[in-house]
Amino acid sequence: MVALNHMSWEKEIQEIEKRKQLALLQGGESATAKQHKKGRLTIRERISALVDPGSFEELGLASGAASTDASGSLTSFEPANFLVGFGKVDGRRIVVGGEDFTMKGGSPSTAGLRKSIYAEDLALQYKVPLVRLHEGAGGSVGGSSGKATSTSDPVYSPPRFRSVAKAMGTVPVATAALGAVAGLPAGRLVASHFSVMSKATAQILTAGPAVVARAMGEQKSKEELGGWKVHTKNGTVDNGAEDEIACLNEIKKFLSYMPNNIHELAPRLNCDDPIDRKDPTLSTIVPRDRRKSFDMRLIINRIVDHSSFFEIGAGYGRSQITGLARLNGQPVGIWANDCKFLAGSMTADGADKARRFMELCELFSLPIVALVDEPGFMIGSQAEKESTIRRGTAAVLTAAMSTVPWASVMIRRSFGVAQAAHYGPDGYVIAWPSAESGPLPVEGGVAVAFQKEIAAAPDPEARRRELEQEFSARQSPFPRSESFGVHDIINPAETRPELCRWIDRVAALLPALLGSAQFHIRP
Amino acid sequence: MTKIALETAGSVWKVLVNVGDFVNVGTTMFVLEVMKMEVSYEAPREGTVTAIHIKEGDIVEEEQIAVEIEDGES
């Protein structure tokens, strides 16, 4: 054996290499095979599928637990079970992190927990979007060291969730649930601006079936407790996607509308959809019969830049439609009513969804386009139980304090207190000829206000119709446009050109909006 | 078998199919009235209507099963 040169670090360099090789094996071949057999990717495969090829710059590949023999030679190395680092998505830098489920089921090891918590700090420090890819169960009763007596953090440590909260106010945060996610990872999953879960592989659980059975006596599977059917309907996650790759594609799409942080504007792309494109379909899409519904998503897709509409939260608060899109290449928030679901009324969960969406636009300085067909707050005993009036009023006040540019297109109904949520301060307001507005929709309003008169008429039904006709004439957009109650009344076919001219006017105002968003206390 | 569940509460305004009818994808099976608006329910697949659990005038709840469709022709 050749004696080691005194100046050489060859032994250590070899050990670094050996540790790297062992770290890349993750939980080992059989754990990786098991992960694949369950139809799930490993964290390294997930990151590779998300970021531009070769762009992942990992931090802490060398962190983990090493064992050495008496001579100090490495006998084993178990890498930290959370990966974190930089990557690029469509050429733009992000921070990406996620649990490695092939080791300890993603339940954090000591170094894994440190890396996990660091993800938010890193995104805050570099002011770039954060993407978390979750599959893990959070802490176990033994703590991250696995021993019953673990050393706790110092009493003066900053709260662990402070950086989570700060990140949400500073950089875009997008997360995916790709396997079972419980405890701390579940809490972090929902602390995001956009979240998506894999229908094929993910469940989100505050606590898993065994804990639930013991504490509550309830026997439920993971899927029953926290599968996509539960969580895309209650708004825990925004979207459900078919599988892991589809989730990652949704995250990429979401980020394409986002700035890097609150101090920058979202990138404006070149637009190949003509900005003067008129669409005659829009002139006939709203039925004259008020009882008949129409397809609001069709309207959205025909107004915005071709194929640019990305819906967020389609499964919950379904009377409201929210999503991102582009107008002449400029990212905008789209908020519309869906009259096919509870007549498009402002339900409690619809109001929550709309409020969160307005906050997203406010935070990242995205102009809002509201396509208004609002019949008012949802009514009935269920609506009262859900505190629709309080949650709805929170949405109304959010709009009232908004500082981003708004364009509101009055498509059909605009009634009650709830309609106020669809108009921002200093907003640009245009009406379609089908627009109706007032304190109450004609049908319900007339029947109640003229109850006695209708009942006393020789033909009550005819009198009711007569009154309804009279009042609906008053709710028409023409008198409103005459008194400059709207900026204009337009041919619906011309909505896109109109909004493209508007976006060019307001784009110049956006730089002045950059920086922290101010949210006042709300009901 | 496919069970058609109601997406919202409301009242049944029209039932347009009978047990034994063959429906194609997109056939309107019934119409609810929800908040003064008509909401049509269309067949998501083709098949034979084997059961109808609603009738005109019923007040119905979210997630209630309204119609059942069986594969194949009657």
Q: Is A102 exposed, middle or buried (0-12, 13-18, 19+ CB in 10 A)?
A: buried
Name the E strands within A105-207: 130-136, 173-182, 194-198, 203-205
Tokens of A428: 């640009």
DSSP assignment of A380-391: SHHHHHTTHHHH
A293 vs B7, B8, B39: nearest CB: B39
pLDDT in tens, A249-264: 999 999 999 999 999 9
Q: How many angstroms separate the Cα of A111 from the Cα of each of A71, A79, A94, A134, A472? A: 25, 8, 22, 17, 67
A375 and B35 in contact by Cβ < 8 A? yes
Provide the mean pLDDT of chain B.
92
Pairing state of beta strands B59-60 and B65-70? Answer: unpaired
The fold of B2-70 is: OB fold (Dihydrolipoamide Acetyltransferase, E2P) (2.40.50)
Provide the mean pLDDT of chain A.
93
More confident residue, A73 or A251: A251
DSSP label at B61? -
- CA atoms of A230 and A225, how far apart (whole Å): 7
Q: Is A53 exposed, middle or buried (0-12, 13-18, 19+ CB in 10 A)?
A: exposed
pLDDT at A141: 56
B36 and A293 in contact by Cβ < 8 A? no
Query: Which H helix or E strand runs over A423?
Result: none
- CA atoms of A360 and A310, how far apart (whole Å): 14
Chain B residues with CB under 8 Å of A291 CB are 33, 36-38
Tokens of B56: 């005109």
- Please say if the pLDDT value at position A147 is more than 60: no
Q: Is A283 exposed, middle or buried (0-12, 13-18, 19+ CB in 10 A)?
A: middle
Q: What's domain A11-67+75-141+162-256's architecture?
A: Alpha-Beta Complex (3.90)
- Please say if the pLDDT value at position B74 is more than 50: no
Tokens of B51: 């059961």
A380 and B9 in contact by Cβ < 8 A? yes
- Please say if the pLDDT value at position A158 is more than 90: no
CA distance to partner chain A, nearest, from residue B17 (Å) = 20
Q: Is A401 exposed, middle or buried (0-12, 13-18, 19+ CB in 10 A)?
A: middle
Residue with tokens 């100090």, as numbered in its chain: A72
Residue with tokens 């920058």, as numbered in its chain: A264
Chain A residues with CB under 8 Å of B8 CB are 341-342
- Please say if the pLDDT value at position A192 is more than 50: yes
A293 and B38 in contact by Cβ < 8 A? yes
In residues, how long is chain B?
74
B34 and A292 in contact by Cβ < 8 A? no
pLDDT in tens, A440-493: 778 778 888 899 999 999 999 899 888 888 888 888 899 989 999 999 999 999
CA A113 to chain CA centroid, Å, is: 25
User: By the CB < 8 Å criterion, does B72 face chain A?
Assistant: no
Cβ pair B50, B70 in contact under 8 A:
yes
Q: Is A149 exposed, middle or buried (0-12, 13-18, 19+ CB in 10 A)?
A: exposed
User: At what angle are helices A244-256 and A43-50 packed, to 10 degrees?
Assistant: 40
SS (H, E, C) A460-499: HHHHHHHHHHHHHHHCCHHHHHHCCCCCEECCHHHHHHHH
Report the C-alpha dihedral over residues A38, A44, A50, A51, rounded to 10 degrees: -170
Least confident of A108-117, A287-296, A437-446: A437-446
Chain B residues with CB under 8 Å of A290 CB are 36-37
- CA atoms of A312 and A324, how far apart (whole Å): 8
A343 and B37 in contact by Cβ < 8 A? yes
- Those of residues 430-489 in A touching chain B at CB distance below 8 A are 441, 443-444
More confident residue, A141 or B54: B54
Cβ pair A408, A337 in contact under 8 A:
no
Q: Is A121 exposed, middle or buried (0-12, 13-18, 19+ CB in 10 A)?
A: middle
Per-domain residue ranges for chain B?
Answer: 2-70
B36 and A291 in contact by Cβ < 8 A? yes
Tell me how crowded residue B2 is: count the other CB atoms within 10 A of its CB.
14
Q: Give me the phi and psi of A50, to 5 degrees please.
A: -85, -45
Chain B residues with CB under 8 Å of A293 CB are 37-39
Q: Is A312 exposed, middle or buried (0-12, 13-18, 19+ CB in 10 A)?
A: buried
Inter-chain Cβ pairs, chain A and chain B, closer than 8 A: 34
pLDDT at A62: 93
Which pTM value belongs to this model? Answer: 0.92
Cβ pair B47, B4 in contact under 8 A:
no
Average pLDDT (A293-305) is: 97
Per-domain residue ranges for chain A?
Answer: 11-67+75-141+162-256, 280-435+476-513
Q: How many angstroms separate the Cα of A150 from the Cα of each of A80, A239, A289, A487? A: 17, 38, 69, 66
Cβ pair A56, A78 in contact under 8 A:
no
- CA atoms of A294 and A339, how far apart (whole Å): 7
B36 vs A340, A378, A444: nearest CB: A444
Q: Give me the phi and psi of A216, to 5 degrees please.
A: -115, -10
- Please say if the pLDDT value at position A372 is more than 50: yes
- CA atoms of A112 and A95, how far apart (whole Å): 16
pLDDT in tens, A347-360: 999 999 999 999 99
Tokens of A404: 């981003």
Closest CA to A229 of A200, A260, A269: A200
**Does the structural domain A280-435+476-513 have CATH classification 3.10.20.30?**
no
Chain A residues with CB under 8 Å of B42 CB are none
ipTM over 0.90: no
Pairing state of beta strands B59-60 and A310-311? Answer: unpaired
pLDDT at A148: 46
User: By the CB < 8 Å criterion, does B59 face chain A?
Assistant: no
Tokens of A371: 């396509």
Cβ pair A94, A128 in contact under 8 A:
yes
Name the percent of chain A lying above pLDDT 90. 80
Q: Do A280-435+476-513 and A11-67+75-141+162-256 have the same topology in CATH?
A: yes
Chain B residues with CB under 8 Å of A375 CB are 35-36
